[in-house]
A and B are shown apart, each in its own frame.
Chain A
């Protein structure tokens, strides 16, 4: 069998292909599988919380469930999916034949998948999976408080998965900086690729710190002496949150870029305020690297003034980005496709997450909200209401490009409606529970607190989200089973990926259109209109 024969299919093609599109697809499939597992853990948690008292699981099991749910969603689903989206789309958008460092990208996939399986391997150990939260707080995670191999497996798995994601970040940065098509200057790079560029900067400088922190935590568990004394746990938290806050933006910016492209495409207008957007992205990411200790306001020894100042300053670039997106919608010929609905859903729901972020970014208010369900509501509005809706906008928009088929719009709208209902039913009541003092990471609450009704509503909301995902799975199955072929540019896109076939060939382009702006296909359309008949 020749190498060429194994190139597209076969086992060797599956495990060793350097094609950025195949690596991205494999990552998306693996991330989807991890998402399903993490979602099941969430459903179990919500089933337990539906009424006061312990009915289904023990407190220890509950600890493992929320630890693995958070770890899955952050290390194994949203972050890798965001980078996979970049791996697929960025080389196409910048007119490159392939991603920079394809072998590194391939190696990244292996590290990520093996890391994820290692984390889940903890369930097979004697003491069960890790129980020390997705943060792995020290001393909760040390050998005294978290004995057993499950915690060690978690540490090694997190380090491996993060190393893989670090490799992807480096490949993506090099692709945008060094592999652009002729005449594509940096100020002609599409908004999505810019968001991936700034995301890669954060990956490159924040992720190594987490790998180092995991190494130190592992040493601490084996021999001690690393995070000892009163300062040790604070030092661990500084190291962790130096990764832990930027990663929130790693899970956010690529989807902001996807939403920006969706809004521009389905408004029939070029992206408004492109240059302001690029400047705000650079400012936003630099600030995001500088706010991490707002997660530590309730701890002594944190420079509260500085971290509160930088956290509140985030509203400036965030405001510019919102203004640009609303400006793009303004006066546009809006088409309410499923992708556009999810993009608009992102805009509204992320706003709830962002505004509640001002609350927890203020040290005085955060003392009340700290460790309560208010915080859980805040970050689920940013990550689920925001990022996940952005992710779905991206999936619905680029699905025809990736598969060459169209998803069904009717099922897509049903998916959207159930998602909005489920997200708000699950996460909005958490603001009230947090305000009333319900702490996070508890398997039980007293009946006398009167939190039963709101918790039951949240559990019903979680079921609604599960139902919405089943509708999406049905849509995918129908679209692949009864194929409706997509044209190369079914939406009237603005950027280079729409200039090639759906799906694109191995080296992406047979010929490239001229690049004169960040919307080269829109340029072509306008040039065509201006030519005399």
Chain B
């Protein structure tokens, strides 16, 4: 994972240089925090990639052509968020949908491991 890690590290370094210039020119806390945070985040993901070994071909899991539980999970998350505006009934309905979707996703994952 050296190449991908280098991309993230290089990008993090460029953001780091920009953060340093911002600090040198008297940047406020919030801008420094956001830009510096992105630089650190990019570098951390790069380091994590560096530490991670490449997955072998035979380790790759088959993904089903259809995944209704993934669609249901996303719709349920949207329902939970909208429930804040439209009422508790939608939150309860969406929570039920999410539980169902997570169950379905677990079943899909178990099947793909067995395959």
Chain A residues within CB distance 8 Å of chain B:
3-4, 6-7, 12-13, 15-19, 98, 102-104, 106-111, 114-115, 118, 149, 152-153, 156, 159-160, 163-164, 177-178, 185-186, 197-198, 201, 205-206, 209, 218, 235, 238-239, 242, 282-283, 285-287, 289-290, 293, 301, 303, 305-306, 309-310, 506
Contacts and interface: CB of A to CB of B under 8 A. Distances in A.
Interface string B1-16: 1011001101100110
Contacts of A114: 74-75, 78, 82
A290 B18 contact: yes
B96 to A, nearest CB: 17
Contacts of B11: 198, 201, 282, 285-286
Interface residues of B, number: 44
B66 A238 contact: no
B115 interface: no
B105 interface: yes
Interface string B65-83: 1111011011101100110
Given A201-B11, A282-B10, A15 B71 contact: yes
Contacts of A285: 11
Nearest to A108: B74
Nearest to A201: B11
A306 B25 contact: yes
Majority SS of interface residues in chain A?
Answer: helix
Given A102-B63, A110-B74, A177-B49, 19 more contacts: A17-B65, A18-B66, A98-B63, A110-B71, A110-B78, A156-B84, A160-B78, A163-B77, A186-B4, A201-B8, A205-B42, A206-B38, A238-B34, A239-B34, A282-B11, A286-B11, A287-B18, A289-B35, A306-B27
B41 interface: yes
Contacts of A19: 65
Contacts of B7: 177, 186, 197, 282
Given A18-B65, A282-B11, A290-B15, A103 B70 contact: yes
B72 to A, nearest CB: 8
Contacts of B77: 107, 111, 163
28 contacts: A4-B65, A12-B68, A17-B66, A18-B65, A18-B70, A106-B70, A106-B71, A107-B77, A108-B74, A111-B77, A114-B78, A118-B78, A149-B85, A186-B3, A206-B38, A235-B30, A238-B31, A239-B30, A239-B34, A242-B34, A282-B10, A282-B11, A286-B15, A286-B18, A289-B38, A290-B35, A293-B31, A301-B28
A16 B70 contact: yes
B14 A159 contact: no
A283 B85 CA distance: 42
B49 to A, nearest CB: 7
Residue among A7, A306, A309 with max Cβ neighbours from chain B (10 Å): A306
A24 to B, nearest CB: 15
A345 B42 CA distance: 35
Given A114-B75, A156-B82, A201-B42, A305 B65 contact: no
Given A238-B34, A289-B35, A303-B26, A283 B14 contact: yes
A303 B66 contact: no
B71 A16 contact: yes
B67 A7 contact: no
A290 to B, nearest CB: 4
B6 to A, nearest CB: 8
A428 to B, nearest CB: 34
A106 B74 contact: yes
A303 B28 contact: yes
A175 to B, nearest CB: 11
B105 A289 contact: no
Contact of B30 (A238, A282, A283): A238
A152 B85 CA distance: 7
B21 A7 contact: no
Given A290-B35, A306-B25, A3 B78 contact: no
B47 interface: no
A289 B73 contact: no
Interface in B19-45: 21-22, 25-28, 30-31, 34-35, 38, 41-42
A225 to B, nearest CB: 17
Nearest to A98: B63
A305 B3 CA distance: 35
Contact of B85 (A102, A115, A156, A206): A156
A211 to B, nearest CB: 10
Contacts of A159: 81
Residue among B22, B70, B77 with max Cβ neighbours from chain A (10 Å): B70
Interface in B49-101: 49, 54-55, 63-68, 70-71, 73-75, 77-78, 81-82, 84-85
Nearest to B34: A242
A18 B64 contact: yes
A306 B19 CA distance: 10
Contact of A18 (B21, B22, B67, B73): B67
A102 B49 CA distance: 20
B104 to A, nearest CB: 10
Contacts of B73: 107
A303 to B, nearest CB: 5
Given A114-B75, A238-B31, A301-B28, A102 B67 contact: yes
A338 to B, nearest CB: 34
Given A152-B85, A283-B14, A290-B18, A303 B25 contact: yes
